[in-house]
Amino acid sequence: MEFRWWKESVVYQVYWRSFYDTDGDGYGDLRGVTEKLDYIMGLGVDVIWLNPFYASPDKDNGYDISDYYSIMPKAGTMRDFEELLDGAHRRGLKVIMDLVVNHTSDQHPWFLESRSGKESPKRDWYIWRDGVEGGAPNNWRSYFCPTAWEYDSATDQFYFHSFAVEQPDLNWQNEEMRKEIYKMMHYWLKKGIDGFRLDAIALLAKQEGFPNAKNPEDISYLTNNPGVHDYLQEMNREVFSHYDILTVGEVAFVSPQEGLLYVDEKRKELNTLFHFEVCDEMPIWDLKRFKEIQKRWYDGLWGRGWNSQFLNNHDHTRLVTRYGNDAEYRVESAKLFAAMLHSLPGIHYIYQGEEIGMTGVRFESIDDYKDIAMKNKYQELVGAGMNAEQALSVLQPLSRDNSRTPMQWNSSMNAGFTTGQPWIRVNPNYKEINVKNALNDSNSIFYFYRKLIELRKAYKVFVYGDYQSLLESEDQMYAFTRTYEGKTLLFVSNFRKSVHNAVLPRELNISDGRLLIGNYERDGDEGNTLQLKAFEARIYLFM
Ligand code: TEU
């Protein structure tokens, strides 16, 4: 496989609006990211992924863009961005931008023009259809609404939206529109950014004729439709191939075979993808299933395309709360998941706050939640007759706001995030869980992440090693090896809350290996039987 810098990278995701506020308006901002670059660099990561900060009415926290060329005032100015980019580059950090090209805001001038009349030159830049029998053109749901169509009385037609009503989908069949998008991509790349995280990129092509779905609840009809690869190959040819960048696309509802088509190095589309077999499709931790997913994706991609590893982001409840243990074993489980993800094949993504073991939240009132997806769903459930309290408790565990609360810097007011009124409530546990405490404790989750990243730099086997799963029949223990150029890395772990023995294959004699890192004090295990404590994880190296 070809060498590319991003294969060896660790990415740190900055949800800027919740990261650090420098002007007291209650929103994090780009200057806040710049101020914290030394902190980010201190973790040892290589790349920063910034969530969208383009001009936007902000109905979906920046994923509804109204001008691709300017910056949302909450985030700052173009100058602020240039300073951030410059500060990052001076520290050897790369910056990738989140880019949303499946849809725009309904306030984007293109859409306003498109909406203005059937004869508008931009009519075809979006997807307009006549209704059927007085209703929507078909029975599809959108990600955020019970229907994917919005009626517009001005022209007596419906427009299509895969997400919120305020996020009309662009019509990728329109070549003029595609050219405008490519031009805009060049604009940012020429500014010197190091790549894109491509939002909802597998949604670009729509099903021909928009046929009714048998089961409208299964929204996989929105994604991975014929034609999507033509657009991505064109995008690569027109834009990506001219730069040495990282492109990572969101590709939901695909098998590894389908996923490979997006990232196969020979096909020249994207560098890597986020598949959602874990984060979207595995609501609670299921190790057996996780192992099976890892194996299938490894078999599907390895040697041909590059995978990504993550267990949370701004859309998914924080990993200790959702998959680990956010009470008694918060620190142990956070470290276990970190060691596991970091040892698996693919780029490792860290979502801000994960490195200090931040947890999800449970706000008491729907008014404390800000997420449009949750709010819409709440309305839908209550509208269908569910009582309000129950609707809230059904939606709380997976609300996207679980991961969007402000970064916890210290134990002062608002966790040191802002001197103003934070746009979303701070997690009440900030007095205990915060960066300052983490940096003062040599045993903290933060330093564990940092060590893992150092190890990746020191031993290429973390990046390039072939993967082999062990202890396959165990459903509460995960062990695997990675092997590369005569070195073998062994990851071994216990997901129980109690002590358990791991019996490794005979040839893996612990006494021959070196413990690189573990989340408990080293003990005296020898031979091939390891006694692992609650949520214990170790990584050994054999050479
Ligand atoms: O998310 C795309 C999307 O909806 C799924 O792939 C995702 O896993 C979702 O959360 C389902 O649970 C992207 C952004 O990450 C998200 O924040 C935006 O709201 C969305 O696109 C629309 O732009």
In angstroms, what is the span from residue 197 Cα to ligand 1's centroid? Answer: 12
- Number of the ligand 1 atom closest to the C-alpha atom of 162: 22
Catalytic residue from among 250, 326, 332, 354 = 250
Q: 461: burial class by Cβ within 10 Å (0-12, 13-18, 19+)?
A: buried
For the question of residue 250 being annotated catalytic, the response is yes
Which pLDDT score is estimated for 254? 97
In angstroms, what is the span from residue 26 Cα to ligand 1's centroid? Answer: 24
Q: Where are the domains of the chain?
A: 5-102+175-364+403-449, 109-160, 365-402, 465-542
Does this complex have an ipTM over 0.85? yes
In angstroms, what is the span from residue 200 Cα to ligand 1's centroid? Answer: 7
Catalytic residue from among 60, 199, 401, 536 = 199
Read off the tokens for 223. Answer: 């994604």
Q: 258: burial class by Cβ within 10 Å (0-12, 13-18, 19+)?
A: middle
Instruction: Report the distance separating Cα 348 and Cα 344, nearest Å.
Output: 8
Pocket test for ligand 1, best of 108, 314, 315 (most atoms within 8 A of CB): 315
What would the pLDDT profile of 140-184 be if each residue is shown by its tens digit? 999 999 999 999 999 999 999 999 999 999 999 999 999 999 999
pLDDT band at 526 (very low <50, low <70, confident <90, very high): confident
As a whole number, mean pLDDT of residues 209-234 equals: 97
Which pLDDT score is estimated for 1? 72
Confidence check: pLDDT of 104 > 90 = yes
Bridge partners, 24 (sequence order): none
As a whole number, mean pLDDT of residues 312-327 equals: 98
Please indicate whether residue 63, judged by its CB atom, sits closer than 6 Å to ligand 1. yes
Grouping H, G, I as helix, E, B as strand and the rest as coil, residue 100 is strand
- Measured by CA distance, the residue closest to atom 12 of ligand 1 is 280
Which pLDDT score is estimated for 4? 96
- Number of the ligand 1 atom closest to the C-alpha atom of 279: 8
Asked if 131 contacts 197 with a C-beta cutoff of 8 angstroms, the reply is no
The architecture (CATH level 2) of 5-102+175-364+403-449 comes to Alpha-Beta Barrel (3.20)
* Mean of pLDDT over the chain: 97
Please indicate whether residue 100, judged by its CB atom, sits closer than 6 Å to ligand 1. yes
As a whole number, mean pLDDT of residues 471-476 equals: 94
Please indicate whether residue 426, judged by its CB atom, sits closer than 6 Å to ligand 1. no
Which pLDDT score is estimated for 2? 82
Bridge partners, 349 (sequence order): 11
- Measured by CA distance, the residue closest to atom 9 of ligand 1 is 315
10 Å Cβ neighbour count for 508? Answer: 19
Picking from 83-92, 141-150, 483-492, 515-524, which range would have the lowest pLDDT averaged per residue?
515-524
Please indicate whether residue 532, judged by its CB atom, sits closer than 6 Å to ligand 1. no
The 3-state secondary structure of 46-99, one letter per residue:
CEEEECCCEECCCCCCCCCCCEEEEECCCCCCHHHHHHHHHHHHHCCCEEEEEE
Nearest to 378 by CA among 367, 365, 370, 388: 388
pLDDT band at 390 (very low <50, low <70, confident <90, very high): very high
In angstroms, what is the span from residue 211 Cα to ligand 1's centroid? Answer: 23
CATH for 465-542? 2.60.40.1180
DSSP code, position 318: -
- Measured by CA distance, the residue closest to atom 4 of ligand 1 is 143
Which homologous superfamily does the CATH classification assign to the domain defined by 109-160?
Oligo-1,6-glucosidase; Domain 2 (3.90.400.10)
For the question of residue 180 being annotated catalytic, the response is no
pLDDT band at 308 (very low <50, low <70, confident <90, very high): very high
Contacts 24+ apart (CB under 8 A), 174-182: 174/124, 174/125, 176/125, 177/110, 177/124, 177/125, 178/231, 178/234, 180/110, 181/101, 181/235, 182/235, 182/238, 182/239
- Whole-prediction pTM: 0.98
Rounded percentage of the chain residues whose pLDDT exceeds 90: 97
